[in-house]
Amino acid sequence: MRIEIWSDVACPWCYVGTASFERAVEETGVGADVVYRSYQLDPTIPMGGDGPTAAEHLSQKLGGSDRVAAMHARLEAAAEGFDIDFRWSQIRRANTFDAHRLLGWALHTAGAEAQRTLKKTLLRGYFTEGLDVADHQVLADLAASAGLDRAVAMALLDSDAEADHVRAEREEAQRDGITAVPTFVLDGQLTLQGAIETDKWAKALRRMSEDSGGT
* Percent helix / strand / coil, the chain, rounded to 5: 55, 10, 35
Contacts of 131 (CB under 8 A, 6+ apart): 125, 138, 142
pLDDT of amino acid 215? 46
Number of domains into which the chain is organized: 1
Write out the residue range of the structural domain in which residue 121 sits. Answer: 2-211
Q: What is the DSSP string of 142-173?
A: HHHHTTS-HHHHHHHHTS-TTHHHHHHHHHHH
- Residue 34: phi and psi, rounded to 5, are -105, 125
Query: What is the rounded distance in angstroms from the CA atom of residue 85 to the CA atom of residue 201?
Result: 22
**Which string of b and e fits 32-41 if b means at least 16 CB within 10 Å?**
bebbbbbbbe
pLDDT of amino acid 42? 94
CATH of the domain at 141: 3.40.30.10
pLDDT of amino acid 155? 99
- Residue 175: phi and psi, rounded to 5, are -65, -35
Q: Which helix (H) or strand (E) covers residue 36, if one does? A: strand 33-38
Query: What is the rounded distance in angstroms from the CA atom of residue 2 to the CA atom of residue 186?
Result: 6
pLDDT digits (tens, 9 = 90+) for 33-60: 999 999 999 999 998 756 778 989 899 9
pLDDT digits (tens, 9 = 90+) for 75-121: 999 999 999 999 999 999 999 999 999 999 999 999 999 999 999 99
